[in-house]
Structure 1
């Protein structure tokens, strides 16, 4: 008789960003990752500021509130901001913080192919890839670029996980632009 082997770790996804503002695209990729990776939960980690972008349009408090509202019907999505516990909002600090708190957890850092194209510019990007599984979802206009990115060449495909899904043409920057019209 076969015994069911129980995993001694929990699979947790991380979707980080400014979420300025959050939108259904964040929810869509979270649902795909939850299903395809069989994650226990996904942490939406909302940061005060993205080091590569201008100051956010919405306050952190407002972005947290809107994120919780969008994710409220999915119990596997948890919305947090860890900025008060971290030296900076760099991803490497978040990953190290989470790894210390959840030693037995296995982390999956989820990003769109638009972010992966620039991943080699992130602080300690190679270390991030060592500490967690990098998961890339397609983003309209960036799939081919991501397949020739510096990070892919440096890390190799075996260190990365590309998930297939429909691309949706929604982004926080497009939403912000529509607010300004």
Structure 2
């Protein structure tokens, strides 16, 4: 099995931003640039997943096709797009993060998620394991702020949350550690974009 990763070096601060990217859009780029700036990251990787186990994947295009679209959207030398999870054959985020950290312990990885993901984080397979494996940052999204902060995962990990003013230190902290980042928010979503792209059907 050959797994090709974007370039890595000891001490590099890399944000991992996973999703289906079906399709990738300007909101993904907005989140990535916000994370690069506020978390003092060197790179952000878009992890184009084989598919979310919590969602219907029957009509999901192949990861390679979605990755191609993501590269066209990224348009930033600090953002790398990879679909290596498909080559690994993993289904869950905890498997991906374990594989990366065990092979590259010298890299300072940070998991990045939207507030909508934090709201349902407690439903992820091994979510406590994820929190114990690497620091993570939550990016605010319209309509999810209150639900995210009131979620079972946010309450369970309340003591590990750091002040937003210390966000630039997150990559160097031992997990569990996380931060909730406020700021300009993007209301774009892949679901809405797919719906808008479908041809309308009119009946007389």
TM-score, structure 1 length as denominator? 0.90
3-state secondary structure, aligned to 2:113: strand
Residue in 2 that maps onto 1:39:
41
* Superposition pairs of residues 1-181 of structure 1, within 5 angstroms: 9-55=11-57, 56-71=59-74, 73-156=75-158, 157-158=161-162, 159-180=177-198, 181=200
Give unpaired runs (5+ residues) of structure 1: 1-7
3-state secondary structure, aligned to 2:41: coil
TM-score, structure 2 length as denominator? 0.80
Task: Give, in angstroms, the shift of residue 83 of structure 1.
Answer: 2.4
Task: Give, in angstroms, the shift of residue 53 of structure 1.
Answer: 1.0
Give unpaired runs (5+ residues) of structure 2: 1-9, 163-176
Looking at structure 2, the residues matched to 126 and 34 of structure 1 have their Cα atoms a distance apart, in angstroms, of 25
Task: Give, in angstroms, the shift of residue 166 of structure 1.
Answer: 1.4
Task: Give, in angstroms, the shift of residue 85 of structure 1.
Answer: 4.0
Count matched residues.
173
Q: Which runs of 4+ in 1 moved over 3 A?
A: none
Task: Note if contact 1:114-1:142 (Cα within 8 Å) is conserved in structure 2.
Answer: yes
Task: Note if contact 2:51-2:60 (Cα within 8 Å) is conserved in structure 1.
Answer: no
